[in-house]
Structure 1
Amino acid sequence: MSMGWTSPVLPELRGPHSPLPQPPTSQQESWVGSLLVLGGLLGPLITVPLSRHVGRRYIIMGSNIPLLLGWLLALVATNLETLYAARVMWGCATGMMFAMVPIYIGEIAEDQNRGALSALFLLFINVGFLLAYAIGPFSDYWGLTGAGGVLSLFYIPFTCFIPETPFFLVLKGKTEEASKILQKLRGTTEESVKEELEALKTMVAREFKEEPRISDLWATRGNVKALGICVFLAMLLQLSGIDVLLFYMEELLGKVGTNITASDGTIIMGVVQVVTSCVTPLVVDRLGRKLLMWTTSLGLTIFLTIIGFYALLDNYYKIDVSHFAFIPLLCLIIYMVLFTLGVGPVPWILVAEMFPARTKCLAGGICSFMCWLAGFVWTRFFRDVESSYGIYTAFWILAACCGVGFLFSVTLLPETKGKTFDEIQDMLNKKDKSKEVEPVAV
């Protein structure tokens, strides 16, 4: 919800009921939008050092501290500096969640439903966007911001109910507690989870003989390949333009010439995201990661290109395209459907399942960091590209990035659907199970 807050709020900041003494400039609005993404860089820097000692559960609960602080700062803001600080706090909170929640899900899920459960992460992110889009047009600045603050107050009581992951409990030697948690998660008996518990104990004994080091990330060919794949896809997630579209949705719908009000169009987009997110868990473990990635990235390339051509005819050549004003909204709706099915959830699913336990938290933090870094660069300079070269050029750059993602997914992305962690490692290293992975010379 804090990520979608800018879309309805930026017009409010230019209006008579703004909390600011004067309307912000275009550059200042760019900072309001992009500072959340910059704050997201702090998330992995917090979660990675703490995850081995504090546990996944308490990091997820603790992310509410900067989140709630951000809502409080936004509520009392009377100048841009306070708003900037609020956006950084929100970014820190969401960065912590993006770095830790996929790992948490990967550690509590079974192999056959890991993808579906990971896809639910994106579903509830989109519910938050829809809340911001739906409340914003029918409320003022303080109403929307207050609603976000109230929801944040419920965060700690509800997250108290989530258990620590069995893997972390085994890592800390709490085998009996890990067994009880596994019984609850699987809905079965102690005898039924004994085999899975023994597998966790074997994994911990094998992977954590020594303290994990950053050099472990390039200790094997499989780790290097997994890191390269996940970093690229995490950056593609941002370079496809999703944060730009979500942060500036109302503004963009007005600029590309749709014949529907910006607020109505934004609500439609939010509903499409949520509905599609409900479908994603049903298909991600049936169709597989590779198929979803190459088909959706190809589709994003096509429809972003079409929006660019429409904007070129409308804004640059001043051709009357009013009879086709439905095209940009339709293309953006299809964009959201495709993104929510593939390019959005798949990178986080792969982060949760491609790395061995020893390097999972560190690798997840690096992928999250690079994702937020790419997002900050694009959200900060999108308006500069738009003002200097036209909004059509900005859409074509997004299309080109998605085109690169399509080629990457077709040629280099392996399929991990339904495979165990060990099978995925064997595939990445191109080794038989009976053979040990040889380290790469460095």
Structure 2
Amino acid sequence: MAESAETDDLFDYSPRHGMEEELIHRAKDGEKAWKRQLLVTLGASTGGLSMGLCLGWVSPAIQQFQNVSSINSTKLSGGNITDSEADWIGAALPLGAILQVFITGILMDCLGRRLTVILSSLPMCIGWLCISLAGQLWQVYIGRILTGFSAGMYSALIPVYIGEIASPKLRGFLGTIFQGCVVLGILSMYSLGIFLSWDVLAFIAVLVPIFTLILAIFLLPDSPTWLISDGRIEFATEVTLWLRDRELVLHEIEELTETSLRADESPFPSPPSYCDASKTKPVSLIFLVMLINQLCGISVVETFFHGIFNWNDTVLPASLSSSIVGVCMLVSTLIAGPVVAKFNRKPLLAITLIVMSVSMLVLGVYVYLLPPRPFNSVPLVCLFLYVSAYSLGIGPLAWVLLADLALPKVAPAVVTISSLTNWGVAFALTCLYSPVIKIVGLSGLWFGFSLLSGAGSVLVILILPETKGLSATQILQLFK
């Protein structure tokens, strides 16, 4: 859209008359481009808010289930739950996310990003209602599996969608908004869990996917990348005109079309797909990134925070510490936007993983010391450093890199592998939490996460390419 069009309707996808047919290289986006891209990103990222609510609900809920108190709802029959049952409440979410692994990529490819967002919101609504109305523990399990199913779809779908609607210069910044919404959801549950019972929290949470559903129907356009792959080049041009706020976008459309075609090219005779570096490298790299994302231990910290830090000799009670750490995580994630936009992905990821490794090492040493332990503020300081580094590094960058690597035609494979790895490892870690604690102790668990975070930083330095500011065509050429 022309920059002089002051009365331009924010939601008008129609191209302006008189659009020239010549190609424009390095054209600058109009004044409204970043606002429109931000608006669409915020609308889609409400799915990340739902995902964060799912992740954050379990920690205060398990504490209420295991300790009879005035805030604990008494309608769930059977009394207090065991450690094994608590583990399964936490593990039900990644289990549900695993169930969607082979579905989301196909739906994205066949139905498009927008319609898949609409479909993914439905199990989330049903799941939260199941939890809020639960009278038996198995009903909580069912609700967690359903919300996990949607959370898994959101985690794979929305970062890819944001990457496809964003300009290359804005892709890193906009990609961090999804993680910011995830952290906001976690913090909301940690904070509200101090005052509200688990069933009331679940009832409040159901409002968010309903909002996402409304936004997807009335606000979100399908991404130009998918529209081109679906053969709707004219509509893709109209959407791109609106997102870029300039009349001449033919070069970008031509580039997207060429990238889509190149993804299918192969010399004669055709080599097996596993020999095509442009297809195997993105899949392999996203597997590595999501593996590091979980093996650093974030799922265990988010799920069992209240139990892990429910010690008598810590400076603050677990419920208050969780809220403080959540605020720290949110602030760090908000800072991550401009940081990711300014610095290259590879060094930022490596440095923050080293900080996480050192924090877990110090925490492991502290836990290893027999009570009474000196310096009872050490656990909180270690968690500050850990979540700050995670929120500046692998937390948002995992989803930014997912968007970078989800090239046309390999997006379904990248999405499938990322979901399977991320949620599969999260499920395994959550299930094994109590058995591992009994075998190696809490200090051994932190030592393990420290070692894995350090190993992740080495792998990032050795293997991961730099994708900051590159278009889809440039990234594809990088792999070829």
| CA distance in 1 between partners of 2:213 and 2:331 (Å) | 27
Maintained 8 Å contact 2:295/2:452: yes
TM alignment of 1:63-212, pairs within 5 A: 63-160=120-217, 161-189=219-247, 192-208=248-264
| CA distance in 1 between partners of 2:298 and 2:274 (Å) | 30
Is 1:235 the counterpart of 2:286 in the alignment? Answer: no
Is 1:285 the counterpart of 2:345 in the alignment? Answer: no
| CA distance in 2 between partners of 1:57 and 1:134 (Å) | 32
Deviations 1:324-377 (A, max 9, x none): 111110110111110011111222222221353111222122122111111111
Maintained 8 Å contact 1:355/1:425: no
Letter in 1 for 2:404: E
Maintained 8 Å contact 1:257/1:328: no
Letter in 1 for 2:477: D
For residues 92 and 256 of structure 1, do their structure 2 counterparts lie closer, same or farther at Cα, with a shift above 3 Å needed?
farther
Deviation at 1:153, TM superposition (A): 2.6
Deviations 1:226-250 (A, max 9, x none): 3222101101111111111111112
Give the match for residue 441 of structure 2. 390
Residue aligned with 2:55, SS: coil
Note the residue ranges of structure 1 that are not aligned, 5 or more in a row: 430-442
Q: Choose from 1, 12, 31 the match for 2:64.
A: 12
Deviations 1:24-66 (A, max 9, x none): 1101100000110111112222211222211011111211111
| CA distance in 1 between partners of 2:317 and 2:208 (Å) | 28
Deviation at 1:202, TM superposition (A): 2.5
Note the residue ranges of structure 2 that are not aligned, 5 or more in a row: 1-52
CA RMSD of aligned residues (A): 1.8
Give the match for residue 433 of structure 1. none
Deviation at 1:188, TM superposition (A): 2.1
Maintained 8 Å contact 1:240/1:402: yes
Maintained 8 Å contact 1:133/1:263: yes
Maintained 8 Å contact 1:39/1:91: yes
Q: Choose from 395, 405, 423 the match for 1:354.
A: 405
Maintained 8 Å contact 1:61/1:159: yes
Residue aligned with 1:137, SS: coil
| CA distance in 2 between partners of 1:59 and 1:413 (Å) | 30
Q: Choose from 457, 460, 476 the match for 1:409.
A: 460
| CA distance in 2 between partners of 1:426 and 1:181 (Å) | 26
| TM-score using structure 2 length | 0.83
Letter in 2 for 1:228: S
Is 1:42 the counterpart of 2:99 in the alignment? Answer: yes
Maintained 8 Å contact 2:133/2:199: no
Give the match for residue 32 of structure 1. 89
Letter in 2 for 1:360: A
| CA distance in 1 between partners of 2:64 and 2:235 (Å) | 51
Maintained 8 Å contact 2:120/2:153: yes
Letter in 1 for 2:436: V
Letter in 1 for 2:184: V
Give the match for residue 378 of structure 1. 429
| CA distance in 2 between partners of 1:292 and 1:217 (Å) | 32
Is 1:425 the counterpart of 2:479 in the alignment? Answer: no
Give the match for residue 416 of structure 2. 365
Maintained 8 Å contact 1:43/1:97: no
Maintained 8 Å contact 2:256/2:472: no
Residue aligned with 1:380, SS: helix
| CA distance in 2 between partners of 1:411 and 1:338 (Å) | 20
Moved more, 141-150 or 234-243: 141-150
Equivalences, count: 418
Q: Choose from 285, 303, 309 the match for 1:247.
A: 303
| TM-score using structure 1 length | 0.90
Maintained 8 Å contact 1:123/1:274: yes
Maintained 8 Å contact 1:13/1:20: no
Moved more, 296-305 or 72-81: 72-81
Give the match for residue 345 of structure 1. 396
Letter in 1 for 2:240: L
Deviation at 1:154, TM superposition (A): 2.1
Deviation at 1:255, TM superposition (A): 4.0
Letter in 1 for 2:401: L
| CA distance in 2 between partners of 1:408 and 1:217 (Å) | 25
| CA distance in 2 between partners of 1:96 and 1:126 (Å) | 17
| CA distance in 2 between partners of 1:94 and 1:60 (Å) | 11
Moved more, 408-417 or 419-428: 419-428
Deviations 1:292-336 (A, max 9, x none): 1110111111000100110000xxx33x22x41111101101111
Deviation at 1:256, TM superposition (A): 8.8
| CA distance in 1 between partners of 2:281 and 2:250 (Å) | 33
Q: Sequence identity, in percent?
A: 27
Deviation at 1:141, TM superposition (A): 2.2
Moved more, 394-403 or 342-351: 342-351
Residue aligned with 2:206, SS: helix
Deviation at 1:10, TM superposition (A): 0.7
Maintained 8 Å contact 2:98/2:149: yes
| CA distance in 1 between partners of 2:140 and 2:469 (Å) | 45
For residues 188 and 254 of structure 1, do their structure 2 counterparts lie closer, same or farther at Cα, with a shift above 3 Å needed?
same
